[in-house]
Amino acid sequence: MNSNWRGAVMRHLLLILLASGLLGLVSGQYAWALVLGLGAYLIWHIKQLLRLHQWLRTRQADDAPPEGYGLWGEVFDNIYHLQRRDQRVRGRLQAVIDRVQESTAALRDAVIMLDNEGNLEWWNRAAEQLLGLKTPQDSGQSITNLVRHPRFKEYFEAGHFQEDLELPSPVDDRQRLQMQITRYGNNEHLMFVRDVTRLHQLEQMRKDFIANVSHELRTPLTVIAGYLETLLDNVEDVNPRWLRALQQMQQQGARMQNLLNDLLLLAKLEATDYPSDNQPVAVDLLLLSIKNDAQALSGNRNHRISLEVDAKLRLKGSEAELRSAFSNLVFNAVKYSPNDSEIRIRWWGDEQGGHFSVTDSGIGIEAKHLPRLTERFYRVDSSRASSTGGTGLGLAIVKHVLLRHRARLDITSVPGKGSTFTCQFPEQQLNRRN
């Protein structure tokens, strides 16, 4: 209240006191006259208060305040201006929200807001087209009830959203969607869904092309290798000048065959998400046979290969795929470590899951190569590739097999000292026997 209004109130009071004094003078009842005067003043205030209350309760958006007298008039006006200002601010905010909603609604990518339990809060039009969400029926529904693919459920529940997920659309099988989830605020989720059908088709064409070429090359190569073998079997009939050439042809032919086999295996691994087989595999026996093969590969290079396994711990998955992944790691240890060195193969389980590791004391790998090691044809030292006879696809195969078994590959290595390749399997892939 500014001093003006304070003065006005004081004047009112003074006037009432004066009037009461006069009335008292006339009637001789000063006390009653004062009570009467103040009572009238109080009733007037209560009346103004009720008018204010009535106006606040029943007012429409643009209703002007009731006419007020004196201080009450000022109060009515102030409230009215405050409300008008509040309305303007709200209007501006609503306009911003409308614009954001309009622009996200117009996006071709789906945007979905989920609460901290994964229930739908808001989505744009593209989400209706790509995921088949229905407005408003689906509001409050759990996203895993609407996108029912088992891989989505697993991905959402695991809560590791660093990598995107690619899935067929629940609306149309031929459409391929890429999903990206980000957490924000109070553990709410923001989900982006993109149509990547065209990219997927191109990728598929690339895979099919490689698989077809590999397949078509296999037959002629088998014929050539067969003839070379026959020629070399009858080495006494061969002109000695050709002998070395034929031997090299056979060696390179075998390399090409290995390469084609690896390419075909990779194409097969990429064709489906998970292995069709999910039987418990006796890892101890599998590793024993891989160890024997590795010893044979080592031959007179005399590697000392040790094996420590938990025979009670089995692994659910495809034996053939696990054999190729594990043997790639063990054979690499033989290939990339010096004669007479030690190689340690281990299979064990703990609270974190199952672990298979191969440790060698070989040439090791510099840290800068580690992130790219599982790429196809990535080699640390390409000049070494021909001498080891590797295809450059071994670790790519390992990575794919592990992905299909929900596992991951960890590599630690010190150049000149040796490396450890560890496959980490989650509990759900294990079968523990007592």
Least distance from ligand ADP to the Cβ atom of residue 384, Å: 7
Residue numbers at the binding site for ligand ADP (CB under 6 A): 328, 332-333, 336, 360, 362-365, 373, 378-381, 385, 390-395, 419
**Cβ nearer to ligand ADP, comparing 122 with 377:** 377
| Strands 342-350, 304-309: pairing kind | parallel
Which residue, 90 or 417, is less far from ligand ADP as judged by CB? 417
SS3 label, residue 373: coil
* Minimal distance, residue 95 CB to ligand ADP, in Å: 57
Strand 279-281 and strand 313-317: pairing?
Answer: antiparallel
H helices, E strands: number in the chain: 12, 13
Residue nearest to ligand ADP (CB): 390
Q: How far is the CB of 152 from ligand ADP (least distance, A)?
A: 31
CB of 246 to ligand ADP, least distance (A): 25
Task: Give 125-129 contacts, CB < 8 A, sequence gap 24+.
Answer: 126/193, 127/193, 129/171
**Which amino acid would we find at residue 119?**
N
* Of residues 428, 383, 376, the one with CA closest to residue 398: 376
Rounded Cα distance, 111 and 181, in Å: 10
Report which residue type is found at 247: Q
Query: Given the complex with ligand ADP, which of 238 and 370 has the nearer CB atom?
Result: 370
Comparison of 65 and 362: residue with beta carbon closer to ligand ADP: 362
Min dist. Cβ of residue 303 to ligand ADP (A): 12
Nearer to ligand ADP, 144 or 424 (CB): 424
Measured between alpha carbons, how far is residue 168 from residues 149, 165, 173, 307, 394 in Å?
A: 9, 10, 5, 42, 29
Nearer to ligand ADP, 195 or 321 (CB): 321
CB of 375 to ligand ADP, least distance (A): 8
What DSSP assignment string belongs to 152-210? HHHHHHH---SS-EEEE-SS-TT-EEEEEEEEETTTEEEEEEEE-HHHHHHHHHHHHHH
Q: How far is the CB of 179 from ligand ADP (least distance, A)?
A: 30
CA nearest to 354, candidates 384, 373, 326, 381? 326
In terms of CB distance, is 104 or 324 closer to ligand ADP?
324
Whether residue 276 contacts residue 313, with contact meaning beta carbons closer than 8 Å, is answered with no
Helical (H) or strand (E) element with 141: none
